[in-house]
Chain A
Amino acid sequence: MIRDHFRVLRVDLASGRGELLELEGRNEVAGGSGLAALLFERFARLDRPWDDPEQPLIFAIGPLTGYFPLMSKTVCAFRSPYHDQYAESHAGGRSALALRFADLDALVLTGRAACPSCLLVGSRQLELRDAHYLWGSDVLTAGKALRRMFRGSGHRSILRIGPAGENRSAMACINADTYRHFGRLGGGAVMGAKNVKALCLVGDASFPLPEGRAYTQVFDEVHRQVTATEMMRKYHNLGTPANVAVLNGLRALPCRNLQQTSDPQVEGITGERFADAALLRNSACSGCPVGCIHVGFVREKFMADNRYLFRQVAYDFEPIFSIGSMLGVFDAFAVLGLLDAVERMGLDVMSAGVALAWATEATEKDLVAEAETAVGLRFGDAETYKAAVAHLARGTNDFYRLLASGTRNAAARYGGDDFACVLGQEMAGYASGEVFFVGQALGLRHSHLDVGGYTYEEKHPERDAGAAVAFYEADERERAVLTSMVACLFARGVYTATLLAECLRCVGYEALAQDLGALGREVQKRRWRARLATGYQPEAVTIPKRFAEVENWKGGIDPGFLSQLQAAYARRIRELGGQAPA
């Protein structure tokens, strides 16, 4: 529904009752990232830790969600168990359109349910249901039960957690509709702390479209660009796994806990290999005709006489890097089998893979004993890693509980911080150089999606800290506009500022369309303000020594440039958040 204010449902999980709020601020923050920051400022308790029942768990969509193709993602915001600070995590699937058709711009969960529960939200429904019998179930099993418990197949979104979230692991994700995730920074633990096993969003409302022909014309132009041109082909063809061979060729693919940046066995896990051998089909987020989700299969013999089981697992570049090359697993089917184990536990695959890569090297260096890992971790041994994944999610001993709180926390106890591949959180799969490392280490979400540092590095071999910081600022601001809409960032080449303004204008958001630059600055400021208010000290971030030892197609890392860039970006972050440099 087009409206000049936000319609937000706040649900108090202690009572199961909701409060509908009409909030001002549409023209200042648009929605998505901007709205999430606005709601966090309103509802968060700065004086209390992340798992205090009053802390909000926020899901927000944008003004164009559902109205245009690829406006299909949801922003989830919370105080993170990973660093006890403000965090955003984004996911596709159906939740964005389900919130749109539930007639909400955002959903805010506060309080804690009295027992493990499921929350049902629709345009005419609100119900908190006892679901204690699902507590302890894995994501797959819970999904099957939830589909029976709630009506609306096809037009609902089911967000759920696995054992990792129930155990409040800082690496717990929120699974969104089987194949997508609010992956990073522990959103699953926040749901777990609230005793919410699942959230079912039912999109059962409909709205009149704007009068006149302008909307249809702009829609058709956007649709043409995303389907009839080559612009989006790379995402539905091999998909992001195409990066495996590219980065390996550039010697920028983290392998075996970043002890290498390429590997001769890489052919076993390239995008081409997955497509030829393991790709079953594509899938899509609702409202996106691109269909970038690649679904592969796991086929396992579980008994003699040719008794097999069969499961489907979605794959992308980041999972392939984190539990493939990073763990020395260079077989596509072994990667999918391990990915399936991670999915069931409700762990963030990137965090889990990178953490286990550190644990493996720490085992090799005799810093961690086999009694602590409970299994003998060895690079390349996928079956053992499957067992380790369950230990990590369930926190079966002190070692795994500490590791699940963050790799560097484990390294602080056991040693091996030099080779902890952590950039703010466990690294993303780009060993491209200083600009990427600092971008992720200091970035708001500690995500490879905060800024495109890896792409910048390919185009700008010069080591100019001032230029790189200017790039961080501008790129983050442009992305903040898109994540306030909330567009899939794969569409950033399509949704230029001009086209975005046309989209906003034709549905009636004239004021927003007039100055997207101002919107970007406002959202950037509010997000950093929220992060700094929860204790972030960008100048205190350290980058482990392993990153300074990386060698790739550009040669080695320049430690002087790395620290110069880090200091300059930390100062700029303070300024962006409205604070004087520390």
Chain B
Amino acid sequence: MLTAPRMERCIGCHSCSLACARQVHRRLSWDTAGIRVASSGGLTSGFEAKTCLACNPAPCARACPTDAFSQRAGGGVVVRKKLCIRCGRCAQACPVDAVYLDPAGEPFVCLHCGRCVPFCPHDCLELAPIPERACLPGAGPEVLP
């Protein structure tokens, strides 16, 4: 999974977001990307990365009524845009605001491909094994429809 373990090194250049938008989604954008960087209370407070934390079970997948978001083995989601009806439930369900909806309602979320990693000049990001978590797959709380 994509992790951002060294965000205290982040300089706010947005190279990761721009790389994701450019390489994965073929867009020029700050937003239509699986990782987005925001200051955490102004530039003097450093930066935080908004990206998927690879939930398992993933609330966004459970919330999706058309299986456009489905559970990715180990954590996170597999996205099939053709099945998406732009209802926005995935973004509502995400506990960490990692799903971006564009103005037309199209969702963008991290696919854990790692293509942003080499564009970070300060090595803030890395692909890492999904850690073992206390909540076992399938044991999480149900997401109400």
Contact = CB atoms under 8 A, between A and B. Distances in A.
Interface stretch (A205-213, A318-326, A407-415, A466-474): A205-213
A219 interface: yes
B89 interface: no
Contact of A97 (B30, B102, B119): B30
Interface string A505-517: 0000000000000
A206 B28 contact: yes
Nearest to B21: A206
A159 to B, nearest CB: 14
Contacts of B36: 154-155
A97 B42 contact: no
A153 interface: yes
Main secondary structure of the interface of A (DSSP, over half): loop
A201 B15 CA distance: 20
Interface residues of B, number: 32
A290 B43 contact: no
Interface in B15-37: 15, 18, 21-23, 26-32, 36-37
Nearest to A280: B44
Interface stretch (A37-45, A281-289, A443-451): A281-289
B38 interface: yes
Interface stretch (B6-14, B59-67, B127-135, B137-145): B6-14
B121 interface: yes
A63 interface: no
Contact of A155 (B30, B41, B120): B30
B25 to A, nearest CB: 8
A138 to B, nearest CB: 14
Contacts of B80: none
B34 to A, nearest CB: 13
Contacts of A97: 14, 30
A178 B28 contact: no
A287 B18 contact: yes
B122 interface: yes
Contacts of A291: 11, 13, 121-122
A203 B27 contact: no
Nearest to A154: B38
A312 B41 CA distance: 14
B63 to A, nearest CB: 24
Range of interface residues on A (Cβ < 8 Å):
35 or more
B4 to A, nearest CB: 14
A154 B39 contact: yes
A317 interface: no
B37 A154 contact: yes
A227 B121 CA distance: 7
Contacts of A147: 41-42
Contacts of B15: 69, 287, 289
A288 B119 CA distance: 11
Nearest to B48: A154
Contacts of B27: 206-209
A434 interface: no
Contacts of A312: 44
Given A178-B42, A284-B11, A312-B44, A216 B31 contact: no
Nearest to B30: A155
A100 B29 CA distance: 9
Nearest to A207: B28
Interface string B81-96: 0000000000000000
Contacts of A346: none
Contacts of A216: 22-23
Contacts of B42: 143-144, 147, 178
A433 interface: no
Contacts of B14: 97, 154, 286-287
Contact of B26 (A143, A144, A155, A209): A209
Given A154-B39, A219-B22, A67 B28 contact: yes
A288 B29 CA distance: 15
B106 to A, nearest CB: 10
Interface string A206-233: 1111000000100100010001000000
10 contacts: A97-B14, A143-B42, A154-B30, A206-B29, A206-B102, A219-B22, A281-B46, A282-B11, A286-B30, A289-B121
Given A144-B42, A289-B121, A290-B121, 12 more contacts: A124-B103, A143-B42, A147-B42, A154-B39, A177-B43, A179-B43, A206-B21, A209-B26, A289-B119, A291-B121, A291-B122, A312-B44
